[in-house]
Structure 1
Amino acid sequence: MKLVSLNIGKPAELSYKKKTVLSGIKKRPVQTSLYLSNIGFIGDGQADLIHHGGEDKAVCVYALEHYAYWEETFNRPLPPAAFGENVTAAGVLETDVHVGDVFQLGESIVQISQPRQPCFKLAALHHEPKLALLVEETGYTGFYFRVLTEGKVKITSELKRTEIHPAKITISKANTIMNNKNADREDVHMLSQLEELAESWKKPLRIRLQ
């Protein structure tokens, strides 16, 4: 696992269809040291605080390996932070990391809280109307960290997994359970009961079980 890019950005206007919305999805790489608080990197921001940000979505992470697929799909190069992520990293594929895994990230300690659910703003950013759906279908969603211990992070910092959650529910598996309305009831129950899973994911799963 290796950090490739640290990215932050403040809310800015984003054109969507025939209107303009505010979004923090436009992020740019930084070379300076950043302080990671329990709600995210200082200097970063979100416009929609209902669906983005907060303690369970403090850091958005995306795998470097997926960039080649999307560049081939769209037949063009993609800039850094093309998926609005705070951290672009190698070796963090959705099939290899689990909800509840703990990592050392520079001076901070972080934990995977949930997969990322792509929204229309990602499609708007790239002028690709079906991009959110394509991200969901490929499973190349990325995921979020919550912050267990605050601290400074820089691009040369180490990213190291220190704990693998014993349930071993991968991000890929969690995505499949959430997005498949016919998922096995036992799997839905298992995921909904995972203590480390963000509450915003637990709630809809519990509703399905009812």
Structure 2
Amino acid sequence: MTGGRVLVVSTGAVRPLSWRGRTVPSGIEKTPVHGPVEVTRLGLTGDEQADRKHHGGPDKAVLLYPGEHYRAWAPRLGPITPPAFGENLTISGIVESDAVLGSVYAVGTVVLQVTQPRRPCYKLAAHHGVRDLAVLTQRSGRTGFYCRVLRPGHLAAGDHIRLLSRPGHGVTAAEAHRVLNVDRADRAAARRLLDHPQVLPTSWAGVLRDRLDGHLDDQAERLHGSLHAAETSSTPNPRHD
């Protein structure tokens, strides 16, 4: 697909979530914003993250989630509406298998670049009250994907998403997700991804190299949470320069 459209634009403040007998802060609960929204290098003005280690920052400034997935989730989650997956932009016309890492899109006056698929975590489960939702999201591949902001500006619901450039390597968010999170024994695919180190976050490349050396990473804390998991900060982190 060469482009798409923004259906809903959403932001959210950090709020407490209940999970396994404890309270964790999260910015996953977002609400739609009407009218143009300012987008800076760190994301949408008014959006916040609690866990600064795993969320936010320049390379994960804006989370996009395909609206096409909502129908697929209905049998499991019921009649949910955007932004049920904590996304900033609910979009149509571009899914994970279309989003080549490094592709550049114009949206309103903003220019975005696809950086990586989302790695679902237990806060999705806490948000919906469905204990295994992070695991289900990971298995389904309906994760959404992150973008960095190459040019700040404004965008709004209804804006078209216009493809400006697409790298020739062909590594999509769907393929990166499959290799990193699902088919972790696929050594050949891991090597193929490492042939394009410029498209992967440095930490992901390290994970893949460790796997090829025989060291499999543990995904349990990310997917299920831990009674002893420490948040990097309980202070809200507004996304603006």
Q: Same fold by TM (over 0.5)?
A: yes
2:207 counterpart of 1:204: yes
Note the residue ranges of structure 2 that are not aligned, 5 or more in a row.
Answer: 214-241
Structure 1 residue 79: Cα displacement: 2.6
Check the 8 A contact 2:187/2:212 in 1, yes or no. no
Aligned partners of 2:191, 2:32: CA distance in 1, in Å? 39
Structure 1 partner of 2:93: 91
2:35 equivalent among 32, 38, 46: 32
User: What is the RMSD computed on CA atoms of the aligned residues?
Assistant: 1.3
Check the 8 A contact 2:74/2:80 in 1, yes or no. yes
Aligned partners of 1:147, 1:189: CA distance in 2, in Å? 29
Q: Report sequence identity in percent.
A: 38
Check the 8 A contact 1:100/1:197 in 2, yes or no. no
Comparing 189-198 with 167-176, greater Cα deviation is found at 189-198
2:21 counterpart of 1:18: yes
Structure 1 partner of 2:68: 65
Counterpart amino acid of residue 47 in structure 1: A
1:99-178 matches, cutoff 5 A: 99-178=101-180
Aligned partners of 1:150, 1:206: CA distance in 2, in Å? 34
Structure 1 partner of 2:81: 79
Aligned partners of 2:202, 2:13: CA distance in 1, in Å? 26
Counterpart amino acid of residue 171 in structure 1: A
Aligned partners of 1:103, 1:200: CA distance in 2, in Å? 25
Aligned partners of 1:199, 1:39: CA distance in 2, in Å? 19
Residues 147, 178 of structure 1: alpha-carbon distance in 2 compared, 3 angstrom cutoff: same
Higher relative contact order (CA 8 A, sep 6+): 2
Q: Give the TM-score taking structure 2 as reference length.
A: 0.82
Aligned partners of 1:61, 1:183: CA distance in 2, in Å? 27
Deviations 1:72-94 (A, max 9, x none): 223x2103200000000001111
Check the 8 A contact 1:102/1:112 in 2, yes or no. yes
